[in-house]
Amino acid sequence: MRLARDCAVESGAALCGAVANELPWQPDGQGLDSARVRLPAFILMSSFSNRRWIWYLVIALGFAGSAWYFFRTKPEPRRHSWGSRDQAVPVRAVRAERRDLAVQLKAIGTVMPFNTVVVRSRVEGQLQRIAFEEGQRVEQGELLAEIDPVPYRIRLAQAEAQQRQNAAQLQNARADLERFRQLHAQTMVTQQQLEQQQALVADREAAAAADQAAVDQARLQLAYTRIEAPIAGRLGLRKVDVGNLVRSNDAEGLVVIMQTRPISVMFTVPEVDLPAVLDPLRAGTALEVEAWDRSEKTLLARGKLTTVDNQIDLATGTLRLKAEFPNEDERLFPNQFVNVRLRVRTLHDALVIPAAAIQFGSRGTYVYTVNEQSLASVRDVVLGATDGTWQAIEKGLEAGEPVVLEGLDRLREGRLVSMVGAEQGAAEKPAPAAPAPAVKKRSGKKGT
């Protein structure tokens, strides 16, 4: 029975039954075990082969179903509405024009006050009153603070009393000298006595002069108790409060005054641009300077170049320049970062296009033009000077030729285009473009 169960599990009941009938009978059951061990290999492996073919069939059916699912419909090719060469690409173009173009040098500048004064006390004493508001604009000579004047009034009174005492002694000495002269004429006093009296008068006169100096000094010290603005400008935050004892020439002082009308801007230009700056200056031409904000979108002020440093910085290879701005509206603030544009010359009747129309690639600089058949054409151009918005073209274009300004990403050589909106005329100014490599944007490093 055990052989029958084992065979039923391994290869089926019918096959095991037939094999068991053909084996010789042994009562102890050893014959059955020996016979099962001696079963042929194809009988034992037949069940495993059947299972393997079942798995093969399942996998094959899975592949067939997947193929049928994914390939039952053929997707249509993707079409782009603008990819066909027969369809016109919408673009906006402007015409090249002739106009005056300002050649500018760009630099990074820092706003500096025209004058800076740290207001300090000249005398020692208790701070009695502060007569200004923080951030207030003051004029020269305006009262800022007062120091307790009582000790200095007493000193002045002492000096004046000493002066009056010495003045009385001088008057008495002069009277004695006059009498000595009369007696000397009558030979009643000797020449030596007369000279001694003259020396006494001179001594009293010197003492009177010293007394006058002492009085003036005391009066000056008393005047120093009133602290006045040495220049016109804008005040900062006060550094001493009322009631504190202040000393002459304190390091921090009372307050700082900065003159902001006018105001200066310090910037640097590379040494290679030095001739472009010095030549017009030596010819007596005033160079205009513009100060723009950090993003170069807002013009803050216009001024003029006033000072050129007398040496080039060896570490950076740059030359420091100083420009002056009226700054009546105080849009420039001390230590403010600004972008400086120094106009060194003006190109008259230059052929210009918007700087945004310039393209840069492996072939160099080029633009897209539109011919009479409304086909786009690549045109290599040679760039000239630029002011950041307009770009001068030295070679490659003629005045009046339309140049593509918008829609450049879809264009190719010979592509059909359609104009969107009216072409811009010469009087219309395009929006400022990002600085191109041709713009002379300068930094503080050498060789830039």
pTM of this prediction?
Answer: 0.61
Residue 213 and residue 271 in one domain = no
Residue-wise pLDDT for 290-344, tens only, equals 999 999 889 999 999 999 999 999 999 999 999 999 999 999 999 999 999 999 9
- pLDDT for the residue 420: 83
Report the Cα 174 to chain-centroid distance in Å: 77
Same domain, 300 and 198: no
Compute and round to an integer the Cα radius of gyration of the chain. 52
What is the number of domains present in the chain? 3
pLDDT of residue 55: 78
Residue spans of beta strands (DSSP E) within 218-274:
226-228, 233-235, 245-246, 255-270
Task: Tell me: do 104 and 40 sit in the same domain.
Answer: no
Same domain flag for 350 and 404: yes
Q: What is the CATH number of the domain that holds 197?
A: 1.10.287.470
Same domain, 177 and 268: no
Whether 40 is covered by a domain: the verdict is yes
Residue 276 burial (CB count, 10 A): 16
Asked if residue 193 and residue 53 are part of one domain, the reply reads no
pLDDT at 385: 84
Q: Which residues lie across from 286 on neighbouring strands?
A: none
Q: Per the domain annotation, does 230 fall within a domain?
A: no
Enumerate the H helices of 92-230 as residue ranges.
150-185, 191-223
102 and 156 fall within a common domain? no
What's the gap between Cα 293 and its chain centre?
9
CA distance 264 to 111: 6
Place of tokens 């004047």: 149
Question: Do 406 and 313 sit in the same domain of this protein?
Answer: yes
Report the CATH number at residue 296.
2.40.30.170
Instruction: Establish if 351 belongs to a structural domain.
Output: yes
**Is position 346 within any domain?**
yes
Long-range contacts of 270-273 (CB under 8 A, 24+ apart): 270/317, 270/318, 270/319, 270/442, 270/447, 270/448, 271/312, 271/317, 271/318, 271/319, 273/105, 273/344, 273/440, 273/442
Q: Do 187 and 275 belong to one domain? A: no
**What's the distance, CA 263 to chain centroid?**
19
For residue 94, give the nearest of 411, 409, 436, 399 by alpha carbon: 399
In a domain, 328, yes or no: yes
Q: Distance (Å, rounded) from C-alpha 177 to C-alpha 296?
A: 84
Residues 293 and 368 in one domain: yes
Q: Which of 444, 429, 341 is nearest to 389 (CA)?
A: 429
Do 200 and 106 lie in one domain? The reply is no
The structure tokens listed for 398 are 């003629």
303/412 same-domain check: yes
What pLDDT is stored for residue 8 in this prediction?
41
With a cut of 70, which residues of the chain have pLDDT below it? 1-50, 70-86, 421-448
Q: What strands, in cross-sheet order, belong to the sheet with 245-246?
A: 226-228, 143-147, 125-130, 245-246
Q: Which domain holds residue 283?
A: 94-112+260-419
Which of 224, 245, 276 represents a domain boundary (last residue)?
224
| Predicted local confidence at residue 85, as pLDDT | 52
